[in-house]
Structure 1
Amino acid sequence: MLIVSYSRLVSDARILKQINLFKDAYELTTCGYGPAPEGVVQHYEIPGEGTYWQRNRLATILHLYTWAYWSSPASAWCRRNLPQGYFDVTFADDIDSIGVGLWTKPKLGVHADLHEYSPREKENVPRWRIFVKPYMEWQVRHFVKRVDSCSTVSTFIASEYEKNFGISPTLVVNATPFHDLHPTDTPENGPIRMVHAGTCRPDRFAEIMIDAVADLDGRYTLDMYLVNNGSDYFTQLSEKCRDIPNVNLHPGVPYDNLIDTLHRYDLGFHNLPPVNFNSRYALPNKFFDFVQARIGMVIGPSPEMVSRLEKYQLGRVAADFTTEALREALAETTPAEVATWKQNAHRHARELSSENVVQPWKDAVETITAKSKE
C-alpha cells in the first residue's frame, strides 16, 4: 500500500493516524516531504518542501489543466520516481496528490482523503478565486470522480461535495489519539490558564484572541504556541505580546509533545473568523486536542465545533468572532464551570478519540482489497 501526501509526513497528524491504522496489516510505503515516518517499509522523499502548489501560470490561465497539474515540481517528481502498477492500493491525501495516486495505477484501487473543500479553499482571495478555483474544480471532476472511494473531515464539507459534484465522501474527523490523562485541578482564586496552539497565519487572526484576554488581566493568562514560519506576522504578534503581561507567545511544540503541553492548562482557546468556506465549517485538530488534554474550551461560533461542544458540554461559545464577544464569553466563565468542562472532556475522551473514528478508512481499503478475492 502507498500513502502519498504533499506534506511533511512526520508532523502531519492526519497522515500519522493513517500510518498507524495500516502499518500492521499492510506493507506500507509513503511518499511526501521530510524523512520516513516510523512503521513504513519504504519512503519516497519529495525534495523541496512547498513546491506542490507551484504550477505553470500560463497553463492555469488558459485552462490547460493537465499541463498545469504535471508542471507542479512535486507531481513531476512523483511521476519520475514512483513505480506504476506496483502497489495494490494507493491512499492519496488532499486534492493535489490524487492525480499522482491515480497515475500509480495500483492493482486494486485508490482511496482519496479529500481533507477540506478544495474548490473554496481561498475564495476570499480574488486572484485565487478567478484563476485557481476552476483548476480545483477540474481536479475534483477529473481525478476524484475516478477513485474507488473518498473521505473528508466534516459533515458540511461532505455535503458540499455531494451537492456540487455528486460524490459522497465518508466522514473521518480530525480526532486525536486517546491519551490516558486526568484533569488537573482548576484554580479557584488565581488566574485561569488558557492555551492556544496552531499555525501562525494572518488569516487566523490570533490578535483577536490576544486582545480579548488582555482586558481580563488577573482573571486569565494565555499562552500561544504558534508554528513560526519566519513570517512578519509572527514578529508582529511577538511585539504585541511584549506589552501584555498576561499573554505569552511561544514557538510551536512538536506534535508528540502537544497534548502533554496542553494538559498543563485549564482552557483551550480557539476562534476562527469565517473568511472562507473551509474556515466557516472547520472542525480542526485542536478541538479534539483539547479533549484529550482534558481541558475545557472557549471558542467562536463555528458550527461544526459548536454542535459537538454543546452535545458533550465541553465549554462556552462566544456570540460571534469579535474581540468583544470573546471577552464577554470569558467574563461569564467561572472556575466551577471550567472544572466541570474538564471532567466532561475526561468522560468523553475515549469516544472522541481517533481510534473511534478511523473505521471508514479501514472499511474503504478493505472494500478495495476485496477485489482480489473476486
Structure 2
Amino acid sequence: MKKIIVSVTNDVANDQRVSKVCDTLYNLKYDVSLVGRKLSNSKNLKRHYPIKRFKLLFNKGVLFYIEFNIRLFFYLLFSKSDILLANDLDTLLPNFIVSRIKNKELVYDSHELFPEIPELLQRPFKKKIWKTLERILLPYLKNCYTVSDSIAHYYKEEYNTHFNVVRNIPILSKTKTRNFTKVPFKITKKKIVLYQGAVNVGRGIELMIEAIDILTDCYFLIIGHGDIFEEINKLVSQKNLNNKVYFLGKIAPQELKDITPLAHVGISIEEDLGLSYRYSLPNKIFDYIHAQIPVITSNLPEMKKIVHQYKIGEVLEERTPERLAEKIEYILNKNYSANLKNAKKELTWGNEEIIIKRIFNSFE
C-alpha cells in the first residue's frame, strides 16, 4: 500500500476539497495522511486516515508561513512516504524540496491563483515573493491539477506547465428536507437569500446588504467568517438591518448541508479584483446547485459559463444594488427546478475524481 502525505496550511476541518481528495485516495487503497495546522478553536476530527496538525507560535503573517513551512519540511523529510500532495503555493516549497531529496513523486493541487489574491494586490513586495516562487517551481512540476479551465490555461501560457482541471464539486447526495429550526429568525412569507463562504474583501457582501435594504420580502443569511466579518456586522447595524441580515458564522460542512437547502437564492458575486477572482469557480456555486437553489453570479468567465450552460440562475452584469434586487425578484418568480436537478446529476465529485484517479494510478 503506497503512502501519500497530503499537506495544507489550514486546520483541515472545513476544507471540503481536501477532504474529498483524501477520501478518493483512501478508497483507492492508498495509505493517506493529512497534515495541517491546529488553531485554538480547532475541533477534534474523526477521519478514515490519520491527521497531523501543527500547533504554531505564529498564526498569521510572514512568520506563520516561515514557521509552517519549516515544520512541514522536517515532517516530510523524516516521514515515510511514496507520494507527496501539496495543496496551494504556500505548501509547495517544502514538498518540492523533499520530493527531490528523497526522490518521491509530487502532485500539486492549486486551489486558486495564489499570487493574484486580492489580499496581495496592495502588497507588491509580498506578491513578488509568491510570484517568484511560482515561477521557479511550476515549470518543474509534472502532475498538477486546478479548479477551473481559465486557471489551467493561465498556467500553460505563463509557465508552459500542464494542469488538469478538477472542479470543487460536492459528492452526489439527496437534498435534505427543509428544516427551518436551523435558522435564527421566525419564518414568514419572506424568502432567504444566502451567501456562504469566506467573509473577505471583494465577495460582494456589501452590495447584497445594499440590495436587501431595497427588497421588502427577503432575509439575507451569511454563513462564514473572515477578514471583514466585524466590518460587515457594523455595516448591518449602521443601516439598521439587523432584522433582515443574519450571521451564522463558520459552521461544519455537514451542518451546512442542512442549511443551504433552506435558501431560495444563493449568491456568488465576487468582484473582479485580480486574476484569482476573475478565473475562480467558487465551490459554493456547486453547493447551491446540489441544494437545488438557483444562483446569481458575477459576470466573470467561469461562473457565468456554468449559469449559461445549465440555466440554473442569472448573471449580474451591472453591479448596483437596484440591479441585484431586480435579479433576485426575477429569480423568485421563475422555476429553475428541472434545470437544477439536471445540473446536479451531471456536476458531481464522482465525475471530477476520475482525473485524480488517473494521476495517482499512473504511479503504479
Q: TM-score, normalised by structure 2?
A: 0.86
1:28 aligned residue (8, 27, 32): 32
Q: Which amino acid aligns with 1:194?
A: V
Offset at residue 103 of structure 1 (A) = 2.8
SS in 2 for 1:250: strand
* Structure 1 contact 228–234 (Cα < 8 Å) conserved: no
SS in 2 for 1:199: coil
Of the structure 1 ranges 285-294 and 248-257, higher mean CA displacement relative to structure 2 is found in 248-257
Q: Measure the CA separation in 2 of the matches of 1:308 and 1:319.
A: 15
Q: Which residue of 1 aligns with 2:85?
A: 91
Deviations 1:306-352 (A, max 9, x none): 111111110111222332321232243343x1xx2133212221211
Structure 1: give runs of 5+ residues left out of the alignment.
57-70
Q: 1:55 to 1:252 in 2, by over 3 A?
A: closer
SS in 2 for 1:91: strand
Would you say 1:13 and 2:13 are equivalent positions? no
1:114 aligned residue (107, 110, 131): 110
CA RMSD of aligned residues (A): 2.7
Q: Measure the CA separation in 1 of the matches of 2:91 and 2:57.
A: 14
Structure 2: give runs of 5+ residues left out of the alignment.
39-43, 179-187
* Structure 1 contact 124–275 (Cα < 8 Å) conserved: no
Offset at residue 102 of structure 1 (A) = 2.0
Would you say 1:176 and 2:180 are equivalent positions? no
Q: Which residue of 1 aligns with 2:208?
A: 209
Offset at residue 230 of structure 1 (A) = 8.4
Offset at residue 124 of structure 1 (A) = 6.4
2:51 aligned residue (43, 47, 71): 43
Q: Measure the CA separation in 1 of the matches of 2:250 and 2:235.
A: 14
Deviations 1:24-78 (A, max 9, x none): 31111111113565011x333222387475159xxxxxxxxxxxxxx70001112
Q: Measure the CA separation in 1 of the matches of 2:66 and 2:120.
A: 23
Offset at residue 251 of structure 1 (A) = 1.9
* Structure 2 contact 11–53 (Cα < 8 Å) conserved: no
Q: Which residue of 2 aligns with 1:347?
A: 342
Offset at residue 174 of structure 1 (A) = 1.3
SS in 1 for 2:8: strand
SS in 2 for 1:157: helix
* Structure 1 contact 91–112 (Cα < 8 Å) conserved: yes
User: Equivalences for 1:110-259 in 2 at 5 Å?
Assistant: 110-122=106-118, 125-126=121-122, 128-129=123-124, 131-181=125-175, 190-218=189-217, 220-227=218-225, 232-240=230-238, 242-243=240-241, 245-259=243-257
SS in 2 for 1:179: coil
2:269 aligned residue (243, 268, 271): 271
Q: Which amino acid aligns with 1:91?
A: L
Q: TM-score, normalised by structure 1?
A: 0.84
Q: Which amino acid aligns with 2:19?
A: L
Offset at residue 362 of structure 1 (A) = 1.6
Q: Which amino acid aligns with 2:118?
A: K
Q: 1:108 to 1:75 in 2, by over 3 A?
A: closer
* Structure 1 contact 9–37 (Cα < 8 Å) conserved: no
